[in-house]
Amino acid sequence: MNIAAAATKLTVNGEAMALRSPPATRLAEALRSELGLTGTKVGCDAGDCGACTVLLDGEQICACMVPVAQAAGREVTTVEGLARDGALSDLQAAFLRHGAAQCGICTPGMLMAARDLLDRNPTPTEQQAADALGGVLCRCTGYRKIVEAVLDVAGDRTCATMEAAAGAGAAVGARIARLDGAAKLTGDDVFGADFAPPDALTLRVVRSPIPRGRFETGDLDGFRAARPGIAAVLTAADIPGSNAFGVYPVGKDQPVLADGIVRYRGEAVLAVVGNAGAVAALRDEDMPVSWYEEAPVAGVAGASAEGAAIVQAGRDDNVLARGRVFKGDIERGFADADFVAEGEWRTSFVEHAYIEPEAGWARRNGDRLEIHVSTQSPYMDRDETAMILGIGQEQVRIVPTACGGGFGGKLDLSVQPLIALAAWSLGVPVRCTYSRPESMASSTKRHPASIRARAGCTADGRLTAYEFHGDFDSGAYASWGPTVADRVPVHATGPYVIPHVKNTSCAWLTNAPPSGAFRGFGVPQSAIANEALLDDLAGQCGVDPLAFRLRNAIRRGDETSSGQVLEHSAGLADCFEALQADWNRERAEAARIDRAGGPRRRGVGVAGMWYGCGNTSMSNPSTMKLGISADGQVTLYNGAMDMGQGPNTIMPQIAADALGVPVECIANVAGDTDRTADAGKSSASRQTFVSGRATQIAGEELRAKILRLANVGPAALLEIGNGRIVLRDGDAERTLDLRAMAPDGEGDVLAADGTFDPPTEPLDANGQGVPYATYGFGAHLAVIDIDIELGTIKVRRIVAAHDVGRAINPTLLEGQIHGGVAQGLGLALMEEYIPGRTENLHDYLIPTFGDIPPIDTILIEDPEPLGPYGAKGIGEQALIPTAPAIFNAVHHATGVRLRHAPATPHRVREALLAAQEAGHA
Ligand code: FES
Ligand code: FES
């Protein structure tokens, strides 16, 4: 064949190109693989996510849905074509200024959709912007800052937010732009699927099509030999170390490759390795595997039923973990109550739906293994991979790529042990990228919960008692199930003072995908019940719901249900008070609207939250290092993984102020286990609090070392660069010659470490103790419209007040709150993962532009003395009160209590009809 004749000629970013990919190749694939334009991302390969959006003759299209042939003779513009002469375009600069990119995986698609809009309509309205970008999904930002950025570049500069980074001592608290932001806007950031060595083989996982049963493999050697492009078919027998991993030392129960038994649909069974074409040509049905299906253990009801099959052989039952918090005398607490409210609630599996599927590559270097992967937990990846391969931890190096969203789902191993095993045994680089359905079928989920709870209060609205039991479907393997079982009983009362408490939880093993960590570890589920009961009690005693919460809000000096006295930061009451004016106004407006009657009702609800920062009653350390090279380059060795939430920016901000230099002086080395110390996992809202404090300590240590060397006082001003440090202390001036000092292994001549492990105490048998060193607090107000004939709910507005201790970077904090609200809205109204049925971003709905209302954020700063400059965490907090506030707003509008999340229209309609029949609505 004449290849030149077969090439597809087109223009890409202004340059004439000839694509040699077959004409039916997806344009996204050709741009990425053939032209190396990996700024165009692939989140689904099915036209659902918009991450691959490019311009074709100036109009936005999904490049995964357009064959190369269709681009012949036409002009393609990708994100790489936006910047000119190395400078960001106005649009890119606006995204940076507004914090419109968090993880950045959706950002190229967003930019291209926005470019299309602005070229056609330079002054769009907010609605036009939302409509034009509506085909691109973002899981991080809640879309608000993206719309702000588009309107900003269109000329409405009323909402511009970035501050210039100021000089020494001014970084903490400044709205500086994300320091790693530019690469997210140009397409230069390298995510898990964006690069592998040219000689890398491709790995594809064969997964179980059944939720429970046995399997037998046939002649795998013959299968491989018959297919020239296939290098290996790996099975459990090929694993040289332990074929069992898990986040808990005593809970390593999940095989890398199943060994004859499968426990959930989507479980990894075989790993096929070969050249990309040969691997892509395989179908699961071609594989010599015989399946023997057995009846699955379905849900908590199935797992707890009399005579239930045992999910994991060797256990007595299907109980994975139990938790409890008992305080006071629960009988007395209810005897003291004048009013009691109770109920039952259910929530569903929720999928993380990060737009970047799991991806990475590995290569062997002699007796060491190097893994480049999208992850939230590099050190845990390192240690578990070493255990699986039966080699030393120091033989494994994890080099994190940019991470396109995690939310807890990239804490557990995914591709890591598979590419490690293949690269280690074959001696060649191996890459793997999960498809969207594969990602959704195999990754961890939010635990579905079945909750029973009741609460009592006195006639004057003081809470006296709270009793709670939550059953959680933990799926087939432990993952983070024990964490949910521990954390929920501590938090289940909500952030309120209650003298008598009896909270219990149970995590059950079932034949479902493992439930794991997902922003909140079970607390968002328990908060739905908790905040509904508070509303019901407020109604019974005739107290305004916001006033009822303020009356019972936990404050400094109060005791939690686990017996911990809050010594310091406890800004919950401030959060509720910050909502008061909006509450009064919105409730009055709702009353006015509802007086008019008709099917559309307005409701206004409120909910509070609290959340312990860090692991529950466990050592939780982080170590950070700051060094200065002989040239005067200051480097932060930062092991706190940034999945979009911001450690690559806020840790340098903290380091800069601690050392006493402008933040621009700080270079950031992120997450490489050969170069950074263990900062622990990016989870449990711990990095700002724990690693931030470790960073502050490192900066202060390094500063103290420099001041000692120069023999100057603590107020001395530092100027670092050109091989020296100049110190000015009043009239005195000293100079340290850095080039005269001996470098360490990183080339730094001066360095200091900081380690921080927040003080906690174990919980006793009744759950009494100090599980967390500090807590974040918050309160949300939700305004909704509900159509009582259709069962549809439209969230009109959210006001979110959060006590963050100290706002290190308000723009990034607002972005976290917006993203949390969006995920909370999804939990409340639309997100439900059903194995085998909603394994794509078409059937599994996440909020889009049109679903997210205006969000007003209010930052409360009640400083935490242990935190860096007073700061606490925010990552999980912002999600927790959204769903309960929405459900309380529905109750306000209709008098009907929603008890099953997500409250899809059919469930809402059912609840309304049931209430009508019972005469309650
Ligand atoms: S990758 Fe093309 S729409 Fe998702
Ligand atoms: S910033 Fe949009 S998906 Fe992460």
pLDDT single digits (tens) 674-712: 999 999 999 888 999 999 999 999 999 999 999 999 999
Report the nearest-CA residue for atom 3 of ligand 1: 47
User: Residues 200-240: pLDDT tens digits?
Assistant: 999 999 999 999 999 999 999 999 999 999 999 999 999 99
Centroid of ligand 2 to alpha carbon of 404 (angstroms): 7
What's the CA gap between 699 and 407, in Å, rounded? Answer: 29
pLDDT of residue 327: 98
Average pLDDT value for the chain: 96
φ, ψ dihedrals at 552, nearest 5°: -105, 0
Report the nearest-CA residue for atom 3 of ligand 2: 138
| Ligand 1 in reach of 29 Cβ (< 6 A) | no
Mutate to test the pocket of ligand 1, among 64, 79, 136, 138 (most ligand atoms within 8 A of CB): 64
Mutate to test the pocket of ligand 1, among 25, 32, 38, 45 (most ligand atoms within 8 A of CB): 45
Q: How far is CA 747 from CA 136, 400, 626, 695, 797, in A?
A: 44, 22, 12, 20, 52
Which value, in Å, is the radius of gyration of the alpha carbons in the chain?
28
Ligand 2, residues at Cβ distance < 6 Å: 101-107, 138-141, 355, 405, 644
Q: What is the pTM of this model?
A: 0.96
* CB count in 10 Å sphere of residue 188: 15
Q: What is the DSSP letter of 553?
A: B
Are 251 and 438 in contact by the 8 Å Cβ rule? The answer is no
pLDDT of residue 156: 53
The answer on pLDDT for 803 being more than 50 is: yes
Q: Which residues contact 125 (CB under 8 A, 6 or more apart)?
A: none
Q: How far is CA 529 from CA 345, 490, 670, 901, in A?
A: 6, 14, 40, 11
Containing 117, the helix (H) or strand (E) segment is helix 107-120
Percent of the chain with pLDDT over 90: 94
User: Residues 121-130: pLDDT tens digits?
Assistant: 999 999 999 9
What would the mean pLDDT of 414-422 be, rounded to a whole number?
A: 98
Dihedral in degrees, nearest 10, Cα atoms 26, 32, 34, 36: 160
| 71 φ/ψ sector (left φ>0, alpha ψ -120 to 50, else beta) | alpha
Are 658 and 700 in contact by the 8 Å Cβ rule? The answer is yes
What's the CA gap between 349 and 899, in Å, rounded? Answer: 15
Centroid of ligand 2 to alpha carbon of 182 (angstroms): 14
| Ligand 1 in reach of 48 Cβ (< 6 A) | yes
Which neighbouring-strand residues pair with 751? 627
Are 360 and 431 in contact by the 8 Å Cβ rule? The answer is yes
What would the mean pLDDT of 546-571 be, rounded to a whole number?
A: 97
Which neighbouring-strand residues pair with 343? 453
Are 500 and 764 in contact by the 8 Å Cβ rule? The answer is no
pLDDT level of residue 158 (50, 70, 90 thresholds): very low
| Ligand 1 in reach of 52 Cβ (< 6 A) | yes
Which neighbouring-strand residues pair with 611? 776
Task: State the closest ligand 2 atom to the C-alpha of 184, by its place in the atom list counted from 1.
Answer: 1
Mutate to test the pocket of ligand 2, among 41, 49, 111, 141 (most ligand atoms within 8 A of CB): 141
pLDDT level of residue 920 (50, 70, 90 thresholds): low
User: Residues 811-846: pLDDT tens digits?
Assistant: 999 999 999 999 999 999 999 999 999 999 999 999
What's the CA gap between 460 and 464, in Å, rounded? Answer: 11
| Ligand 1 in reach of 66 Cβ (< 6 A) | no
Q: Which residues contact 23 (CB under 8 A, 6 or more apart)?
A: 6, 8, 67, 68, 69, 72
What would the mean pLDDT of 242-246 be, rounded to a whole number?
A: 96
Which neighbouring-strand residues pair with 622? 756
> Is-cis flag, bond preceding 743, omega within 30?
no
The encoded tokens of residue 735 equal 């100079």
Q: How far is CA 427 from CA 196, 199, 368, 577, 800, in A?
A: 15, 11, 11, 62, 52
* CB count in 10 Å sphere of residue 121: 13
Are 886 and 847 in contact by the 8 Å Cβ rule? The answer is no
Q: How far is CA 359 from CA 25, 383, 791, 832, in A?
A: 21, 19, 40, 24
pLDDT of residue 1: 39
The strand order across the sheet containing 289-293 reads 261-262, 213-217, 289-293
What's the CA gap between 81 and 61, in Å, rounded? Answer: 16
Containing 323, the helix (H) or strand (E) segment is strand 319-327
Q: How many residues does the chain have?
A: 921
Rounded-to-5 percentages of helix, strand, coil across the chain = 30, 25, 45
Are 410 and 403 in contact by the 8 Å Cβ rule? The answer is yes
What's the CA gap between 872 and 438, in Å, rounded? Answer: 36
